[in-house]
Chains A and B, each alone.
Chain A
Amino acid sequence: MGINWVQFTPGSSLLGGLLIGASAGLFLLALGRIAGIAGLIARPILATIQGKFGASERVSLAFVTGLVMASWIWRLFAALPSVAIPEKTGATLIAGLLVGVGVRMGNGCTSGHGICGLSRLSMRSFVNVCAFMVAGMVTVYWLKHL
Chain B
Amino acid sequence: MKEIIATLLGVLFGIGLMLSGMTDPDKVRGFLDVAGSWDPSLALVMVGGISLAAIGYIAASGRSRSWMGERIDIPTNNIIDRRLILGGLLFGAGWGIGGMCPGPALVNLGAGYRGAAIFVVAMVAGMLVHDQLSKWMANRNS
Residues of A in contact, count (CB < 8 Å)? 114
Q: Choose one: A65, A92, A122, A140; the contact of B78 (CB below 8 Å).
A: A122
**Contact B115 A92, beta carbon cutoff 8 Å:** yes
10 contacts between A and B (CB under 8 A): A13-B41, A16-B45, A22-B16, A64-B106, A67-B17, A96-B98, A97-B94, A103-B127, A117-B75, A131-B88
Taking a contact as CB atoms under 8 Å apart, the answer to whether B88 and A25 are in contact is no
Which residues on A sit within 8 Å (CB–CB) of B122? 92-97, 100
Please indicate which of the listed interface residues A37, A73, A81, A107 has the most CB atoms of chain B within 10 Å of its own CB. Answer: A37
Instruction: Report Cα–Cα, A84/B27, bound state, in Å.
Output: 9
What is the CA–CA distance of A59 and B87 in the complex, to the nearest angstrom? 26
Q: How far is the CB of A54 from chain B (nearest CB, A)?
A: 12
Given contacts A4-B38, A68-B107, A99-B101, contact A20 B16 (CB under 8 A): yes
Q: Please report whether the interface of chain A is mostly helix, strand, loop or mixed according to DSSP.
A: helix
A2 within 8 A of B: yes
A51-88 CB contacts (< 8 Å) to partner B: 55, 58-60, 62-74, 80-87
CB of A41 within 8 A of CB of B106, answer: yes
The chain A residue sitting closest to B83, CB to CB, is A105
CB of A92 within 8 A of CB of B119, answer yes
Chain A residue contacts of B89, Cβ below 8 A: 102, 131-132, 134-135
Which A residues contact B (CB, under 8 angstroms)?
A: 1-4, 7-10, 12-35, 37-38, 41-42, 45-46, 49, 55, 58-60, 62-74, 80-87, 89, 91-107, 109-111, 113-120, 122-124, 127-141, 143-145
Name the CB-closest residue of A to B120.
Answer: A96
Partner of A135, one of B55, B91, B118, B126: B91
Contact with A along B23-63 (1 / 0, CB 8 A): 11111011011111111111011111111111111011101
Is B77 among interface residues, defined by CB-CB distance under 8 A? yes
Q: Are A120 and B74 in contact (CB under 8 A)?
A: yes
The CB with the most chain A CB atoms within 10 A, among B17, B53, B86, is that of: B53
Q: How far is the CB of B43 from chain A (nearest CB, A)?
A: 8
Chain A residues with CB under 8 Å of B78's CB are 122-124
Given A14-B47, A24-B53, A127-B88 in contact, is the A139-B101 Cβ separation under 8 Å? no
Please state if A32 and B72 are interface contacts (CB–CB under 8 Å).
Answer: yes
Give Cα A3 to B68, complex, Å.
45
B12 touches A22 (CB 8 A): yes
Q: How far is the CA of A96 from the CA of B113 in the complex (A)?
A: 14
Known: A17-B16, A27-B9. 12 other contacts (CB 8 A): A17-B45, A68-B110, A70-B14, A70-B17, A84-B99, A95-B94, A97-B123, A114-B49, A128-B84, A136-B32, A138-B93, A145-B35
